């Protein structure tokens, strides 16, 4: 009902989903390549490099106007050192972000495999409970519990796939600037 309200439909409108959540294995580039791309493409690096270049130019101007013992010279020298440190920090932060997102993608892949195993085990448990019920060795509630367990395992697998897909998008976003053309094409194929 809340979804219907959010979409602007009548409260009791039946909604039928037409898409299916699928797992498509992502070809993870090497971590060195990913970090290199991120350092090349990210706006934070470009801004830090620009600030460093401006500080260098200002330092050159101040150095020609004032001797090393003056306040103006020393202040600009501190600004240059700060800009250099900010550039190094930006590079390290982006590398940490890319590496963290990379590990997150790998972790989510493992969660999908675990989810698949859980679904398989739940299906087998349901099959065994159904057979036991059919021959009179189990009660209906045992079958219902097995069905509930299977549905929970399937929901867990769906959540793992969704988390994986989101982790892949986050990883790709951390490598480049915004959404690349490749991602737009892939997303458009999903909506068709």
CA-closest candidate to residue 104, choices 23, 26, 176, 179: 26
Q: Please give the domain boundaries of the chain with CATH numbers for all domains.
A: 29-183 (1.20.1600.10)
Tell me the C-alpha to C-alpha distance, in Å, between residue 85 and each of 23, 80, 98, 188: 42, 9, 20, 41
- Percent pLDDT > 70 in the chain is 92
Total residues belonging to the chain:
192
Residue 84 CB neighbours (<10 A):
15
Query: Does 190 have pLDDT greater than 50?
Result: no
Query: Structure tokens of 47?
Result: 């801004």
Query: Does 186 have pLDDT greater than 70?
Result: no
Residue 35 CB neighbours (<10 A):
21
User: Can you tell me the distance from the alpha carbon of 143 to that of 162, in angstroms, rounded to the nearest whole number?
Assistant: 29
pLDDT in tens, 61-109: 999 999 999 999 999 999 999 999 999 999 999 999 999 999 999 999 9
pLDDT in tens, 127-166: 999 999 999 998 999 999 999 999 999 999 999 999 999 9
């Amino acid at each position: 009902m809340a979804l219907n309200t959010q979409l602007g439909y009548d409260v009791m409108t039946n909604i039928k989903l037409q898409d299916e959540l699928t797992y498509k294995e992502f070809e993870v580039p090497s971590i060195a390549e990913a970090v290199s791309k991120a350092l090349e493409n990210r706006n934070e690096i470009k801004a830090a490099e620009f600030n460093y270049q401006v500080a260098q130019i200002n330092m050159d101007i101040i150095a020609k106007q004032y001797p090393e013992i003056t306040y103006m010279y020393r202040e600009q020298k501190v600004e240059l050192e700060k800009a250099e440190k900010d550039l190094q920090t930006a590079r390290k932060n982006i590398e940490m972000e890319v590496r963290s997102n990379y590990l997150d993608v790998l972790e989510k892949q493992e969660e999908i495999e675990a989810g698949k195993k859980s679904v398989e085990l739940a299906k087998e448990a349901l099959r065994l409970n159904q057979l036991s019920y059919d021959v009179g060795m189990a009660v209906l509630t045992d079958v219902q519990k097995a069905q509930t367990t299977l549905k929970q395992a399937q929901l867990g697998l769906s959540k793992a796939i969704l988390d994986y897909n989101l982790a892949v998008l986050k990883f790709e976003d951390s490598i480049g600037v915004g959404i690349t053309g490749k991602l737009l094409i892939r997303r458009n194929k999903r909506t068709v």
